[in-house]
Structure 1
Amino acid sequence: MSDAANSNPTEIEITEPSRLNEQAAVALVIAGALVAVADRRVSPVERDEVIRFIRDRGLAPHMSDDRLFAIFDELAERLEEPDFANVVIDTLRPVSDLPLSAHLMELSERVAAADEDVDPHEVQAIKLLRLLTLVLPRAKPVAPGSADTERRAAAQE
């Protein structure tokens, strides 16, 4: 297990399904947080909509609501920093090979409408998410056991 922790993150994502599920949940949360922050005021109803969306679809059954709320608050704060785009990209990249784009887009639209006032900046955030879901490089799938094979091959060289 210690080898997996020190190996390529892509290998960890694919060989440890619970980690991948958590990363997918965080990707959904960041999509909602990005839209919520876009108009410079995060409404509690927007945060609640993110959690409701995830719960209604059973997308993160292993994570408590409190944990999801904490992740949302932390990411919303990070998204107010100048490097917010890097935060979004770094969060979405590990799960870019999962079929999450439809969920990301639906969630972002629901968050924008949650406070009954769709701000032009929220529309821009949705467009950014749509673009990112189209252009992010796909993570390379790793077949079970291939991480061990690759490590052995690297050790022999």
Structure 2
Amino acid sequence: MMPDAESLSPIQGEITEPSSLHEQAAAALVIAGALVAVADRRVAAVEREEVTRFIRERGLAPHVSEARLAAMFDELAERLEQPDFANVVIDTLRPVSDLPLAAHLVDISERVAAADEDVHPHEVQAIKLLRLLTLVLPRSKQVAPVAAREGRAASGA
């Protein structure tokens, strides 16, 4: 029997509310992989390994250890088996919605689906869901240098 969401105890600080930008970005990437991993109701070790390898190879969360990523994956995969899984996904993606992670979220989900060499139809649905979510995530905004912003403000632009 799976524990309910309230009885799950976060590890090493709240994963569901990571404090640093690196942890938030890592959690977003991990949730994308975990969502696909749990879709077929069989989370394989190779899927967790693919998540950590993907993040490491691309240097996407350099300040987060592999052990931390693996622990994050395990906890989030367990949380995704609860009835409120959609809220878990949204709450994990929301803090980093202005970062340019959308392509990585889809890429990691596809890599996890293929990791166990059996792409289940529910994994395909999870990837489609992530694609839709990335379409509605705000794009990263370009920030003009301070001098340029001040110049526009002074000229009334």
CA distance in 1, matches of 2:140, 2:53: 28
- Residues 100 and 140 of structure 2 are in contact (CA less than 8 Å); yes or no, is this contact kept in structure 1? no
Q: Which runs of 4+ in 1 moved over 6 A?
A: 138-142
- Residues 33 and 76 of structure 1 are in contact (CA less than 8 Å); yes or no, is this contact kept in structure 2? yes
Unaligned runs of 5+ in 2: 1-18, 144-157
Query: Residue 56 and residue 140 in structure 1: after superposition, are their counterparts in 2 closer, same or farther (change >3 A)?
Result: closer
Unaligned runs of 5+ in 1: 1-17, 143-157
CA distance in 2, matches of 1:140, 1:21: 18
Query: Residue 51 and residue 114 in structure 1: after superposition, are their counterparts in 2 closer, same or farther (change >3 A)?
Result: same
**1:134 lines up with 2:122 in the alignment:** no
- Residues 100 and 139 of structure 2 are in contact (CA less than 8 Å); yes or no, is this contact kept in structure 1? no
Deviation of 1:64 after TM superposition, in Å, equals: 1.1
CA distance in 1, matches of 2:124, 2:111: 11
Query: How many residues are matched?
Result: 126
Residue in structure 2 matched with residue 120 of structure 1 by the alignment: 121
Partner amino acid, structure 2, of 1:27:
A
**1:110 lines up with 2:132 in the alignment:** no
Deviation of 1:137 after TM superposition, in Å, equals: 5.3
Q: Cα deviations across residues 32-65 of structure 1 (Å, max 9, x unaligned)? A: 0000000000010011000000000011111111
Residue in structure 1 matched with residue 36 of structure 2 by the alignment: 35
CA distance in 2, matches of 1:103, 1:136: 13
* TM-score using structure 1 length: 0.75
The alignment's C-alpha RMSD in Å is 2.1
Q: Cα deviations across residues 4-40 of structure 1 (Å, max 9, x unaligned)? A: xxxxxxxxxxxxxx81121011100000000000000
CA distance in 1, matches of 2:55, 2:140: 23
* TM-score using structure 2 length: 0.75
**Identity of aligned pairs, percent?**
83
- Residues 33 and 112 of structure 2 are in contact (CA less than 8 Å); yes or no, is this contact kept in structure 1? yes
CA distance in 2, matches of 1:89, 1:139: 18
